[in-house]
Amino acid sequence: MAPSPADRPLDLVVFGATSFVGRLLCARLVERHGSDGDLRWAMAGRSAERLREVADHVGADVEHLVADAADDAAMADLVARTRVVASTVGPYALHGSPLVAAAAEAGTDYCDLTGEPQWVRRMIDAHQGTAEASGARLVPSCGFDSIPSDLGVWFTQQQASEALGAPCTRISMRVRSLRGGASGGTLASMLNVVEEASADRDLRALLADPYALAPAGDREGVAQPEVRLPRHDATSGQWVAPFVMAGINTKVVLRSHALLGHPWGRDFTYDEAMATGTGPLGVAKASGVAAGMAAGMGALAVGPVRRLLGRRVLPAPGTGPSPEAQEAGAFDLRFFGETATGRTIRTRVAGDRDPGYGSTARMLAEAAAALVGLDRDDVGGGFLTPATALGDDLVARLRAHAGLTFEVLT
């Protein structure tokens, strides 16, 4: 049996420290907490040599734990040494399940960067009861998918309740700008999702279900809006196109709503889209984004093409942009909320780094640190979301330390 979390020698283990985002996460932890400061942390991965290389590169004088993601016993030993584990080992559907099972059993808190809803659903169904019993707080999707969306809705609802006297029954998120590319690991995860869905009709239905990640017994509700084609948007006054991350983000937001007890009403709706501007140029951009997404997904649906892209064209896992490119990236999201009586609020969530790398590493660093400080008497075990586990504390940390902005515009 694992020792009580309070008696463990480490606060945090970064599992997958030698991945591209894992290296960024370790560098951020050195910058924020040092090697022997307020946070007792360690690096973990399957190669001792690569762990040493990363540690030397980022200046991390911390313990190294060698463990293979496929080794159940190694995962059990790893989680027994720490209060929290942050995983960057994707695709999570291929490499992440033993660690989640071990954390749920040992009462170890957990966070990751997954954007794979089919895997999160499997983990919830398999380990929710175990995590509730052990007290483990398991918080998937603590990167660009889905912290800005989940906490953006949380922040908007907090502000609406205070300023308007009631929460919003409808919120729409519009991506105003987005500079930065997807990591090799993110693309590998997307390829694996398509690979699984291509042979499984039930999985395709799950991916299309906005309530797929809601708690068991609460996986239905009002019809949710969805932007599938370019159209003029009355909410933002612009032309809009589909947003590639809406599929995971909307599911996380609706899980938060269900876990909170539906405080925004059983008729609450949420959707996401890319805003492309007004006039003929806005139409052209929206049409181009939608056509590009349709063509890309169509190509990925063809097995030989998908495998060729994975081998020869798309960035390999472990690769990513230069530090200069990361700093040049940014994102700007706008949330349009409306109450049942028609009163409106508009908020903004923005980040000052590339969303897939620099910002994501900072978000995960703050989520992990927030989990370390989370009182077990305040939040019980189970699969949670960034909003339901960490809420206002994480908003404050992201504002202070991760370059994120949360503000009311109108």
On whether both 371 and 295 belong to a single domain, the answer is no
- Confidence label for 299 from pLDDT (cuts 50, 70 and 90): low
pLDDT at residue 318 greater than cutoff 90: no
Per-residue pLDDT, averaged over 372-399, amounts to 96
- Confidence label for 5 from pLDDT (cuts 50, 70 and 90): confident
- Residue 408: inside a domain: no
The pLDDT value given to residue 349: 98
SS (H, E, C) 7-22: HCCEEEEEECCCCHHH
- Residue 407: inside a domain: no
- Confidence label for 100 from pLDDT (cuts 50, 70 and 90): very high
Global pTM reads 0.94
On whether both 255 and 163 belong to a single domain, the answer is yes
Helix axes 184-198, 117-134, angle to 10 degrees: 100
On whether both 130 and 191 belong to a single domain, the answer is no
Between 24-28, 170-174, 374-378, the lowest mean confidence (pLDDT) is in 374-378
- Residue 329: inside a domain: yes
On whether both 46 and 95 belong to a single domain, the answer is yes
On whether both 227 and 246 belong to a single domain, the answer is yes
Per-residue pLDDT, averaged over 227-255, amounts to 95
Per-residue pLDDT, averaged over 168-194, amounts to 81
Tokens of 171: 């919120």
- Confidence label for 203 from pLDDT (cuts 50, 70 and 90): confident
The pLDDT value given to residue 208: 93
Per-residue pLDDT, averaged over 356-384, amounts to 94
Between 9-13, 269-273, 308-312, the lowest mean confidence (pLDDT) is in 308-312
The pLDDT value given to residue 200: 82
Computed over every residue of the chain, the mean pLDDT equals 91
On whether both 331 and 389 belong to a single domain, the answer is no
- Residue 306: inside a domain: yes
Q: What is the largest CA-CA distance in the chain?
A: 64
The pLDDT value given to residue 314: 55
CA distance 302 to 59: 44
Quote the number of domains for the chain. 2
pLDDT at residue 94 greater than cutoff 80: yes
The pLDDT value given to residue 193: 78
The residue segments making up the domain with residue 88 are 5-144+358-402
- Confidence label for 190 from pLDDT (cuts 50, 70 and 90): confident
Which residues fall within 8 angstroms of residue 244, CB to CB, at 6 or more apart? Answer: 293
What share of the chain in percent tops pLDDT 90?
78
Q: Which residue has the higher pLDDT, 304 or 89?
A: 89
Please state, as a whole number, how many other Cβ atoms lie within 10 Å of the Cβ of residue 12: 23
On whether both 246 and 343 belong to a single domain, the answer is yes
Per-residue pLDDT, averaged over 345-367, amounts to 95
On whether both 93 and 105 belong to a single domain, the answer is yes
- Confidence label for 293 from pLDDT (cuts 50, 70 and 90): confident
The pLDDT value given to residue 72: 97
On whether both 177 and 154 belong to a single domain, the answer is yes
CA distance 367 to 355: 16
On whether both 125 and 161 belong to a single domain, the answer is no
- Residue 409: inside a domain: no
CA distance 97 to 353: 30
Between 10-14, 19-23, 318-322, 365-369, the lowest mean confidence (pLDDT) is in 318-322
The pLDDT value given to residue 260: 97
Between 97-106, 198-207, 337-346, the lowest mean confidence (pLDDT) is in 198-207
- Residue 66: inside a domain: yes
On whether both 32 and 69 belong to a single domain, the answer is yes
- Residue 44: inside a domain: yes
CB-count burial class (<10 Å; 0-12, 13-18, 19+) for 32: middle
Q: Which residue has the higher pLDDT, 104 or 327?
A: 104
On whether both 119 and 36 belong to a single domain, the answer is yes
What share of the chain in percent tops pLDDT 70?
90
- Confidence label for 90 from pLDDT (cuts 50, 70 and 90): confident
- Residue 221: inside a domain: yes
pLDDT at residue 117 greater than cutoff 70: yes
Q: Which CATH number characterizes residue 80's domain?
A: 3.40.50.720
Helix axes 147-163, 391-401, angle to 10 degrees: 110
